[in-house]
Structures are given as C-alpha cells and as structure tokens.
Amino acid sequence: MKKHMIAGILFAFSLALDIVTKELAVAHIGLHERIDVFGSFVQLTLLYNRGGLFGILQGYQTFFLIVSILVLSMLVVYYALEKQKTPLFCGAMALVMSGAVGNILDRLLGKPGVVDFIYIGDDAVFRWPAFNVADAAIVIGAFLLLLYYYREEKQRKADRSAG
C-alpha cells in the first residue's frame, strides 16, 4: 500500500510541476523568445508543439490527443493488472502517466499545442527539440521501467539456474 501512496504523491508532484512550469512559461516568455539559463546551453523558449514526439507530424493534434488517451488508458490497465508492483515499477509508471496527463491537458484545454519551453544544446553542434516537465517525466519513467524489466529478467534467469 505504501508504494501506491508514494506513486500517487510522485504522480501529483510531477503533474503539478508540469502545470505550474507551463503556466509560468506562457506568462513570462514571449513566443520563440530565448532566455539563457546556463549560458546558451540551457535556454527557455516558448513553443507550441502541434504534433507528436519531437514535433513530428505538426497539425495532427486531434490524432495525437486520441492516441495519448488510448495509451494512457492502456497504462492504467497495465498498472492495475501488473502482479509485481515493486516501488520501482510504481514510481516509473507514476512518472510516465503524469507526463501523459500533463500533455493531454494542454491539448484538451484548448492551447495552440503542447507547451514546450526547455531547450538544451549548442546551436553550432546540436540542440535537442524543445520539451517540458511532462516530457522529462515520461523519459525518466521509461528509463526506470527499462531498469525494472532488466532487474526482473535478471531475477528470473537467476531463479531458473538455481532451480
């Protein structure tokens, strides 16, 4: 039960942080304005992503809204049905689901697109596409899920060789 409570808190904190930072970005950063945070390597810039991951398929907001809701629904079902709910699994799923909800809310609330505002890289070398806290939560959660599955597989192999 404790792991579900911690996952709920992590979900709520991550979602709240996403909502607050997006609102701050919209209120204080001009569209396409760049504000240096750590030199020019980390910048804040307000962009609206009207497409999918990394800005692909711009203009297909309804499609990505439907896909996002379907994926979120499958994640909720998967979370409910998973038998091995370790704290790592619960935390990872909380991050992924909070990120999905954060980006879905942008699309549902009539914004011009998903609010992206964190811009990392060097213009002369490579600049990562703009992202937001929800995107970061999804990536961190996905990495933690990979770690969870790696550990589970390693444990299964150890159990098979011991038995």
Cα–Cα distances (Å) from 141 to 13, 108, 158, in that order, read 14, 23, 26
Return d(Cα 146, Cα 41) in angstroms, integer.
28
pLDDT attached to residue 163: 64
**Tally of structural domains, the chain:** 1
In this predicted structure, what is the pLDDT of residue 42? 95
Spatial distance between the Cα atoms of 135 and 62, rounded to a whole number of angstroms: 19
Answer with the residue of higher pLDDT: 110 or 88. 88
Residues above pLDDT 70, as percent of the chain? 99
pLDDT in tens, 136-163: 999 999 999 999 999 989 888 888 887 6
Element of type H or E holding 118:
strand 114-122
Q: Report the C-alpha gap between 124 and 80 in whole angstroms.
A: 46
pLDDT in tens, 6-44: 999 999 999 999 999 999 999 999 988 999 998 899 999
Rounded average pLDDT over 89-105: 97
Structural domain span for residue 31: 2-162
Predicted local distance difference test score (pLDDT) of residue 158: 85
Is 3 strand, coil or helix?
A: helix
Q: Evaluate whether 25 touches 116 at the Cβ level (below 8 Å).
A: no
Tell me the torsion sign for CA atoms 51, 74, 66, 117.
negative
Amino acid at 109: L
Q: What is the pLDDT of residues 52-79, one digit of tens each?
A: 777 777 777 889 899 999 999 999 999 9
Active-site residues, by number, are: 116, 135
For residue 142, give the H/E element and its range: helix 133-162
Residue 118, beta-bridge partner list: 44, 131
| pLDDT value of position 84 | 84
Three-class DSSP category at 117: strand
Report pLDDT for 39.
Answer: 87
Phi, psi of 128 (to 5 degrees): -65, 145
- Interval 103-111 mean pLDDT: 93
Q: Are 147 and 88 in contact (CB under 8 A)?
A: yes
